[in-house]
Amino acid sequence: MKKHLICLKILCFLIFFQGYGIIGNAQTFDASDFLSSSKNVIEPHKKLGAVTRIKTGPDNTIMSVDVSGQLALCSHADRGHIILDVNGGLPPYTFRWNNLETVQNRYDLLAGTYSVWIQDSVGNEIKERIIIQPPYPLEIEMSEIKETSCLGNNDGEAKINILKGRGEPYKIEWSHGLKNQIHAKNLKNGTYSVKVSDQFDCSKTIYFEIKSNSETMEISESVNHVSCNSAEDGAVSIDVKGGNAPYTFSWSNGAVTNEIKGLAPGDYHVLIKDQKGCSISKTYKINAAAPLEISSEVKSDLLCYNSEEGEISLNIVGGTAPYTYKWSNGADSKDIQNLGKGEYHVKVTDAKGCFVEKTFDITGPEKLTAKIETALDINCELGEAKGVAWVSIQGGKSPYQVKWQNGTTDSREIEIGDDREITVEITDSFGCSVSETIMVDFSTIAAADKLDFNYRKLQFAGEEEILVDEPLLFESAIAEDFIAWEWDFGDGTKSHEKDPIHIFKNPGEFEVVLRAFDMYGCSSVLTEEVRINQHEEFFLMPNAFSPNGDGLNDKFHPVAKGIAGYTMDIFNYWGEHVYSNADRDSEGWDGFLNGQVLPNGNYIYKVHYSTSKGEKVQKTGTVTLLR
């Protein structure tokens, strides 16, 4: 129990309260219960072991004191101190301690009770009794330690007991960050500490270790890096000790054995587990071999397209000597000479079988070419031709020298007048040369007497008269010198067939013109008049036919003249339809139905046709089939 004396002028009151004193358990008292003209208040301070006293005098002057410092000892060697902070009232303040000291603050204090009388300049006063607690043992123990199931797992645990101390609350701080818990879980292997502090910040620390109940797994390995820069022959072989065999292996490339081969450069991660599920992992790096490289010196300043002054000299870096060489032109030496324009590929192999390939380009001038072209000037009326020949040059290096077979030089064009062979030789500024030869052909110009034609009727050929709608065959006699021709029939229609068939739709005299063209564009023309008369009209139906294959009267069809076309349907005695020329491609009825021979007898026909005047006519009758 703590007691506190409050004095106001000549009156003093003794106040009692529970606890270890002012520390932590301070209570608030209203002095109006003892004296209505003043009030003393004791309040807890935010600082550990501190209190605040507030006094209100008769003149409503408020005076307060904050008490702080080290108000409890953690050990017998420890010393306390008291800090007073006075506010309100009317300064200056005077301080009188029970040992007659008049300082404001006290230091280097043993455990015990210390009284102080504080007075301001107008007589307001506060009396305070402060207790510095003696040392009180804080004892803790590690009550439980649980090892991890596997090295590296986080299933370890630790638990403490607080055996002795000043009482709650305690502050508990674990080294891995857990606070105010006596039981720590999810611990990995390692060394930890736990610190317990009481309300006066007196503390005790315990250090402990979380071990594993499984033997540590260890890996030893053999690593083979790739032999060549572009090879995939790396390998890793590992051996595991410790833990609990057997082991399982899981590689990042999908392998499940303790050895992997055929590896390209890169990182390969393995996870190893024993039969208890404990695991260990490691990453291995397969290094690439130093690259085999080719540097070169290429001479490719060829003068002519087909010259061979090129050279390639190699310098090999990296790999393992000696080296072998294989060129695309068959050479096996390090350097090659006398090269023409083109690509040259080399494969260099070192003593370990590592190889590198490279392609070189020997450049030179563009190929020198010459092309002779001709043009003819034709006089169709006189049947004469003359022309010129000229040469087009590409490639090489200008300026060019031109020499024709006839001796003409420095001119790209010459005149020609007869059939002959023409040759030209071109030389460029490097002295490279090329020649070109062509044959000039002056074919004979076509003449009018090489063109002729006649015409004849395709139906009723025995009749000389040509009627409207009768097809005429125009047969030409055109010489081979002509390469194109054109017919003009005088009725607004034309044809480019050699032997066309034409039908005149109206009567009259028509000028038929045949025009033929030779290779020079010269033409020959032949004209002839054709008279077309108005046709007679008749439409006759035979009354019998004999389809026996003797070539006589084998098909049944109408005999007509001046009729543009007709349709015909045939029925048997019972009215069944057996034939129709609706497709207009039929030449008449042959006495068959769907490939089957029909019997002899009478059949009924029905015919429709139109006259030249547009009148529509229908005829019905019978025909006898006789075989």
Per-residue pLDDT tens over the stretch 298-308: 887 788 888 88
pLDDT digits (tens, 9 = 90+) for 142-176: 999 999 988 878 899 999 999 998 888 999 999 99
For residue 4, name the pLDDT band (cuts at 50, 70, 90).
very low
How many angstroms separate the CA atoms of 227 and 349, rounded? 13
Residue 18 has a pLDDT of 30
Distances (CA, A) of 129 to 2, 63, 110, 118, 201: 9, 17, 15, 11, 22
Spatial neighbors of 9 by CB under 8 A, at least 6 apart, are 123
Q: 545: buried, middle or exposed (CB in 10 Å: 19+, 13-18, 0-12)?
A: buried
Residue 165 has a pLDDT of 87
Class of domain 139-210: mainly beta
How many angstroms separate the CA atoms of 607 and 66, rounded? 139
How many angstroms separate the CA atoms of 106 and 68, rounded? 11
DSSP 534: P
Mean pLDDT of the chain: 83
- As a whole-number percent, the residues of the chain with pLDDT over 90 amount to 44
State yes or no: cis peptide before 134, omega within 30 of 0.
no
- AA letter at 599: P
Is the pLDDT assigned to residue 570 strictly greater than 90? yes
Higher-confidence residue of 205 and 389: namely: 205
Residue 113 corresponds to which tokens in the numbers above? 């009770």
Residue 409 has a pLDDT of 78
Residue 448 has a pLDDT of 52
Residue 253 corresponds to which tokens in the numbers above? 């490339």
Is the pLDDT assigned to residue 6 strictly greater than 80? no
- As a whole-number percent, the residues of the chain with pLDDT over 70 amount to 86
Residue 583 has a pLDDT of 56
For 538-625, the fitting CATH number among 1.10.287, 3.30.110, 2.60.40, 2.60.260 is: 2.60.40
Q: Give me the mean pLDDT over the 1-19 stretch.
A: 35
Residue 2 has a pLDDT of 35
Residue 600 phi, psi (nearest 5)? -60, 150
How many angstroms separate the CA atoms of 350 and 333, rounded? 14
How many angstroms separate the CA atoms of 516 and 593, rounded? 50
Residue 36 has a pLDDT of 33
For residue 262, name the pLDDT band (cuts at 50, 70, 90).
very high
Is the pLDDT assigned to residue 314 strictly greater than 90? yes
pLDDT digits (tens, 9 = 90+) for 467-478: 888 889 999 888
Q: Can you tell me which residue has the tokens 């590592």?
A: 354
Max alpha carbon distance in the chain (Å)? 174
Out of 270-274, 298-302, 527-531, which region has the weakest mean confidence (pLDDT)? 298-302
- AA letter at 162: I
pLDDT digits (tens, 9 = 90+) for 47-106: 334 445 555 555 557 889 999 998 999 988 999 999 999 999 899 999 999 999 999 999
Residue 55 has a pLDDT of 57
Domain residue spans in the chain? Answer: 2-132, 139-210, 218-286, 293-362, 369-440, 448-532, 538-625
Q: Give me the mean pLDDT over the 539-543 stretch.
A: 89
Query: What strands, in cross-sheet order, belong to the sheet with 293-299?
Result: 293-299, 310-317, 336-339
Residue 396 corresponds to which tokens in the numbers above? 């090489």
DSSP 442: -
How many angstroms separate the CA atoms of 563 and 616, rounded? 11
For residue 40, name the pLDDT band (cuts at 50, 70, 90).
very low
Q: What size, in residues, is the chain?
A: 627
Q: Give me the mean pLDDT over the 399-422 stretch.
A: 81
pTM for this entry: 0.37
How many angstroms separate the CA atoms of 280 and 241, rounded? 11
For residue 3, name the pLDDT band (cuts at 50, 70, 90).
very low
Give 215-218's long-range contacts (Cβ < 8 A, gap of 24+): 215/242, 215/243, 215/244, 216/151, 216/242, 216/243, 217/151, 217/241, 217/242, 217/243, 217/247, 217/272, 217/274, 217/278, 217/279, 217/280, 218/242
Residue 476 has a pLDDT of 87
Higher-confidence residue of 365 and 61: namely: 365
Q: Which CATH architecture has domain 369-440?
A: Sandwich (2.60)
Residue 269 has a pLDDT of 97
Residue 70 corresponds to which tokens in the numbers above? 């080290």
The answer to whether 212 touches 185, Cβ cutoff 8 Å, is no
Class of domain 218-286: mainly beta
Is the pLDDT assigned to residue 444 strictly greater than 70? no
Residue 337 has a pLDDT of 92
Q: How many CA atoms lie within 13 A of 376 on its CB side?
A: 20
For 293-362, the fitting CATH number among 3.40.50.1100, 2.60.40.1080, 1.10.760.10, 1.10.1530.10 is: 2.60.40.1080
Residue 27 corresponds to which tokens in the numbers above? 């209570």
Q: Can you tell me which residue has the tokens 């042959």?
A: 590
Is the pLDDT assigned to residue 447 strictly greater than 80? no
Q: Which SS3 state, helix, strand or coil, does residue 449 take?
A: helix
Residue 31 phi, psi (nearest 5)? -70, -10
For residue 496, name the pLDDT band (cuts at 50, 70, 90).
very high
CATH homologous superfamily, domain 448-532: Immunoglobulins (2.60.40.10)
Do the domains spanning 293-362 and 448-532 agree at the CATH topology level?
Answer: yes
Q: Give me the mean pLDDT over the 502-514 stretch.
A: 90
Query: What strands, in cross-sheet order, belong to the sheet with 544-545?
Result: 544-545, 616-625, 601-610, 566-571, 577-580
For residue 1, name the pLDDT band (cuts at 50, 70, 90).
very low
Residue 56 has a pLDDT of 56
Spatial neighbors of 149 by CB under 8 A, at least 6 apart, are 155, 212, 213, 214, 276, 277, 278
The answer to whether 68 touches 76, Cβ cutoff 8 Å, is no
The answer to whether 85 touches 65, Cβ cutoff 8 Å, is yes
pLDDT digits (tens, 9 = 90+) for 209-220: 999 888 888 999
Distances (CA, A) of 293 to 229, 314, 315, 324: 10, 10, 8, 14
Q: Which SS3 state, helix, strand or coil, does residue 34 take?
A: coil
pLDDT digits (tens, 9 = 90+) for 99-118: 999 999 999 999 999 999 99
